[in-house]
A and B are shown apart, each in its own frame.
Chain A
Amino acid sequence: MKEIRRSVAPDDLPDVATRLVREQGLSLAALFAIDERSANGRYLLRYVFTDRAAGSLLTLELPVAHDPGTFPSIAATVHAAALYEREIQDLFGLSPVAHPDARRLVHHGNWPDGEFPLRRDFPLGRKPPRAALEQPFRRVEGEGVFEIAVGPVHAGIIEPGHFRFSVAGEPVVNLEARLYYVHRGIEKLCEGETPERVLFFSERISGDETFANSLAYCEAAERIAGIEVPARARYGRVLFAELERLTSHLGDLAGICLDTAYGFGAFQFRMMRGWAYLMADELCGMRFLRSVDRIGGLRRDFAAGKADSLHGQIARIRAELGDTSALIHANNLFIDRVETTGVLSAEAAADLNVTGPGGRASGVRYDVRRDFPYAAYGELGVRVSEHNNGDVNCRMNVKIDECLASLDLMDQALDAMPDGPVLAAVGPLPPHRGAFGLVESPRGENLHWLETDADGNVARYKVRTPSFCAWPALCLAVQGNVVPDFPLINKSFNLSYAGNDL
């Protein structure tokens, strides 16, 4: 992964950022702040752009003074920046000037004004008194327009979030998602902690992306340490990452079937997901692939002596998936529900940096595994699914394609895995270094930034999961659909609340 870092002046920023995105075709992949006041009296904002064609990252660094604590908003032209700027406003107390919608994002009405948890002088355990501030939703007005409020506690067994639908009759005119109900303060919890402890936080960002998050974290830490991960561990990581993707996608496919009341399809996929969990148990005894990654490689040689058994289980799932896919595609009642439902336009997907299956279903030709290869993906090669219609059907088909591709990759990784050690020795991390970890989680491009302090502990750990970018896209995809299709559209994206809220 090539990386370029440049500093930028506040006056130039909007222009430069807009040209990078509109003319050079780069994507804003992250925007975050760090409080460096104790060292040099200011904050630093990092604007991270991915150049997918060149496989490189470009970071613009913008220093921001504590007083007046403002920075120019680029959200009017670089739409993907809108949420990041609101996040920085809530957590650091820096204001984006001329932001088109500068409402609160992370904090709810119970959080008083003037408290900014990611400033270094805010103590971790401080619990400000509860406030009761108004938090308006965007109002849609007109004859026959009603609001439907859903959540935070939902009808199904899922995570909490509040959805405010504005409907005119059946069709949804506007949907606003209020999230951050599961905001646990992970980035603050990691401040000043040892790199070893932060690994366990990274595994608990979002349960079903445990391995993807720990891998992104380890990649960043290994880049800072400047060490080479042993080849066997790199292949092992492919095996685990694909197993996680398979498990996650099978769950989503079950959910899509369930939300169309197609019980048979749902139970087929649940059965296959159960089989995938059996592989996880056999490999490491932990269904969520926790405590598998370590900085420097893998905790153990988990795959040793299990290749034959795993090949057999992979073949069983592959055969069943082929059969089930044929059966559900032959069911025209089912296909009727998923086709043309919840369309996300290619333009919106590109604009909001929607990646992963949600993006690939809408014509985004991007996969971190292929375009920024890590672990052993460079050697193995990745088949990237190509779909264009952006509806539930396409997202479902992308996930089926990717399950099959994951099964193939697991086979290949098992075969190509050389013998040897799985864990490189890593000493304390060098001080004052920063690095990115960029991986493809089951939901898409997963970007982590790790920076060390004077002692080699964690000064800043910024996590940007794919769900953060995709939530606004889900709200767009729902527009014009009937309310009863919302669960189906939601399931076809299956975004993580915990991964967004941190």
Chain B
Amino acid sequence: MSMVGKILLYGRLTFRYPKEPMDATNFSASPRIDPAACNGCGECVVRCPSRAISLQPGTGIGIDYDQCVFCALCADVCPTGAARMTPHFELARRDRAALRHSPLVVREDLVPAEPVETTGRLLEKEIRRRFGRSLAVREVDSGSCNGCDYEINALNNPFNDLERFGVHFVASPRHADMLLVTGTATRNMERALIRTYNAAPDPKLVVAVGACACSGGIFRGSYATRDGIDRLVPVDVYVPGCPPRPQAVLHGILLAIGRMGEVDP
């Protein structure tokens, strides 16, 4: 078959998300723990590989979604079936605390290698007005496993076709309105991340993509990593996931420019 034949044959492949919901039947997207069914045995707390589950006085059991790596081990080891995997993938939030069950503790020794320049940040509303229809995005991998980067790449495939929203990826931070940052900000990348941020013109947005960028994920606490990027650069939206699906990243981008809202499970 010729090239033209192929183009005619396949027509439109693009998902209708977010106009219509994704068919999430098969997704093993995020864990949920039903406090009513939990017997407090603590098995998942001990075995969670990214230490994202905690029993808190008063509020009981819960998950820090900024830290969760979505491995489903809690669902596997739960003796009562309180923990289970759900297809809910739209987890992006503007406030990191809203993703957490336990209080956020910041290590004081994680001082940035050099400061960021945050003068000239416009009011949020103004940013949305300006970027709502045309957004230039620069992706920065600050130390990921490349999973998040492949999922961001997938936004350009015919199924997601990011450009239909007026959102496109640019080659230089000088042209960018938004930085899409993956990875924990490793020791060797932190200076590059800060310089990339400073190189992007104001006003600008930062979206942290994936568990590593949100909190350090499973790599937290090593000599070479830090606990997420938000001590280095100001973050507007956090997209949990390990890695988040392309549509979850899309939700995060659209949330940052006010074209989608936060979605309750």
Contact = CB atoms under 8 A, between A and B. Distances in A.
Interface stretch (B53-61, B127-135, B146-154): B146-154
Chain A contact residues, majority secondary structure: loop
Interface string B36-75: 0000000000010110000000000000000001111100
Contacts of B141: 153, 158-160, 182
B159 A182 contact: no
The listed residue with most B CB atoms (<10 A of its CB), out of A157, A186, A208, is: A157
Contacts of A6: none
Nearest to A299: B76
Interface string B121-163: 0000000000000000001111111111111111011110000
Contact of A122 (B6, B217, B223): B223
Interface in A254-294: 264, 267-268, 270-271, 273-274, 277, 281-282, 284-288, 290-291
Given A184-B219, A200-B71, A271-B13, A160 B189 contact: yes
Interface stretch (A124-132, A163-171, A390-398, A424-432): A124-132
Interface in A369-392: none
The listed residue with most B CB atoms (<10 A of its CB), out of A127, A130, A281, is: A127
Nearest to A156: B171
B157 A274 contact: yes
A204 B27 contact: no
B45 to A, nearest CB: 13
A207 B173 contact: no
A251 B150 CA distance: 9
Nearest to A300: B76
Contact of B71 (A155, A159, A291, A323): A291
B135 to A, nearest CB: 15
A498 B76 CA distance: 29
Nearest to A248: B150
B145 A204 contact: yes
Nearest to A290: B71
B32 interface: no
Chain A: interface residue count, which band? 35 or more
B159 A274 contact: yes
Contact of B187 (A127, A277, A282, A324): A127
B222 A188 contact: yes
A290 B242 contact: yes
A204 B68 CA distance: 13
Contact of A181 (B27, B85, B143): B143
A285 B85 contact: yes
B215 interface: no
Contact of A207 (B149, B157, B219): B149
Contact of B186 (A184, A188, A196, A287): A184
Contact of B72 (A130, A291, A323): A291
A487 to B, nearest CB: 12
Contacts of B106: none
Contacts of A32: none
A271 B169 contact: no
A41 interface: no
Given A117-B223, A207-B145, A183 B188 contact: yes
B223 A188 contact: yes
A110 B87 CA distance: 42
Contacts of A130: 113
B26 interface: yes
A497 B158 contact: no
Given A160-B141, A181-B188, A200 B1 contact: no
Contacts of A497: 146
Interface string B62-102: 00000001111100100000000101000000000000000
B145 A271 contact: no
A205 interface: yes
B263 interface: no
B196 interface: yes
The listed residue with most A CB atoms (<10 A of its CB), out of B49, B139, B169, B243, is: B49
Contacts of B152: 157
Interface string B1-28: 1110011001001000000000000111
Contacts of B85: 285
B29 A184 contact: no
Contact of A498 (B144, B157, B225, B242): B144
B158 A281 contact: no
The listed residue with most A CB atoms (<10 A of its CB), out of B6, B27, B72, B145, is: B145
A146 interface: no
B242 A155 contact: no
A285 B71 contact: no
Given A268-B6, A291-B72, A181 B189 contact: yes
A126 to B, nearest CB: 5
Contact of A285 (B2, B28, B73, B196): B28
Contacts of A287: 151, 243, 245
B118 interface: no
B218 interface: yes
B226 to A, nearest CB: 8
Contact of B139 (A157, A196, A207, A498): A157
A264 B1 CA distance: 13
B153 A181 contact: no
A204 B242 contact: yes
Contacts of A273: 157
A196 B146 contact: no
B186 A183 contact: yes
Interface of B: 1-3, 6-7, 10, 13, 26-29, 47, 49-50, 69-73, 76, 85, 87, 109-110, 113, 139-154, 156-159, 169, 171-173, 183-184, 186-189, 191-192, 196, 217-219, 221-225, 242-243, 245
17 contacts: A110-B188, A125-B222, A125-B223, A157-B149, A158-B149, A160-B140, A184-B143, A200-B69, A201-B49, A207-B147, A207-B150, A270-B157, A274-B159, A281-B26, A282-B26, A287-B243, A288-B150
Given A157-B139, A284-B28, 10 more contacts: A126-B223, A128-B223, A130-B113, A153-B140, A186-B219, A204-B147, A251-B150, A264-B6, A288-B150, A299-B72
